[in-house]
Amino acid sequence: MSKVRVHNLAVSLDGFATGEGQTLEAPFGHAGTRLMEWFFETRAFRSMIGRDGGSEGADNAYASAWAPGIGAEIMGRNKFGPQRGAWQDEEWKGWWGDNPPFHTPVFVLTHHPRPSLTMDGGTTFHFLDATPAEALARARDAAGGLDVRIGGGPTTVRQFLDADLVDHLHVVLVPILLGRGVRLWDGLESLEDRFTVEPVTTPSGVTHLTFARR
């Protein structure tokens, strides 16, 4: 059976995986880039945006696990864009330009479905009003036997964890206090009972936590 995986989900010490006040200019709200700086330094990220160089150590090893073996992604509406409620128009095609880094079908969870968007490079955005289990069934069909990635944001990941649909969770603990935003861990008491948890601190100062289903 294909696995359901979460990768590179950064959280602050106080448990926020994104800040308050998302806008077009600030996808992570007041958190700015602080949760993702460890990632921007990696060779994996730089190659994703067509640049050379980058770190090749442990952070890069974790970051690189994001793509291999993935056949589809599921993401929340707020990862796709800053709009809320009904779409004003259908001009918005995500933050990632004409050739998004996914290169697979991507299922965007929203209460406001719209026609699918075929992008360059193999990414197609489909818009679904569905429960986590329903969305996962659709994504598994589309993934052709490969794994399905839950791409975030934190609310979406939390819903899939709550429904016990996640096999592999990679969280990156960044030693900052955001104070406000969207919490990842709420309502997940004793999550560790279902997983083997391995924490590893890297020289950049973050701590990678890998939760693997027992």
129/198 with CB nearer a copy of itself: 198
121/205 with CB nearer a copy of itself: 205
30/103 with CB nearer a copy of itself: 30
Given 133, 134, 175, 213, the residue binding a copy of itself (CB under 8 A): 175
Place of tokens 């990635």: 149
Given 24, 137, 163, 197, the residue binding a copy of itself (CB under 8 A): 197
**Distance, CA of 131 to CA of 41 (rounded, Å):** 35
Q: Residue 154: which residues within 8 A CB-CB, separation 6 or more?
A: 9, 11, 16, 17, 18, 182, 183, 184
Question: Judged by CB under 8 A, does residue 201 bind a copy of itself?
Answer: yes
CA distances from 214 to 68, 172, 185 (A): 22, 20, 19
Question: Judged by CB under 8 A, does residue 31 bind a copy of itself?
Answer: no
**C-alpha dihedral sign at 157, 162, 168, 170:** positive
**Distance, CA of 107 to CA of 126 (rounded, Å):** 5
Q: Cα 127 to chain center, whole Å?
A: 16
50/203 with CB nearer a copy of itself: 203
Given 3, 15, 81, 92, the residue binding a copy of itself (CB under 8 A): 15
**Distance, CA of 76 to CA of 154 (rounded, Å):** 9
49/197 with CB nearer a copy of itself: 197
List the Cα angle 110/139/70 in 5-degree steps: 120
Question: Judged by CB under 8 A, does residue 14 bind a copy of itself?
Answer: yes
Q: What is the closest distance, in whole angstroms, from the C-beta atom of residue 4 to a copy of itself in the complex?
A: 19
14/129 with CB nearer a copy of itself: 14
Given 36, 48, 128, 173, the residue binding a copy of itself (CB under 8 A): 173
Q: What is the closest distance, in whole angstroms, from the C-beta atom of residue 183 to a copy of itself in the complex?
A: 8
Place of tokens 């997983």: 195
Q: Which residues bind a copy of itself (CB under 8 A)?
A: 13-15, 173, 175-180, 183, 185-192, 197-201, 205-207, 209
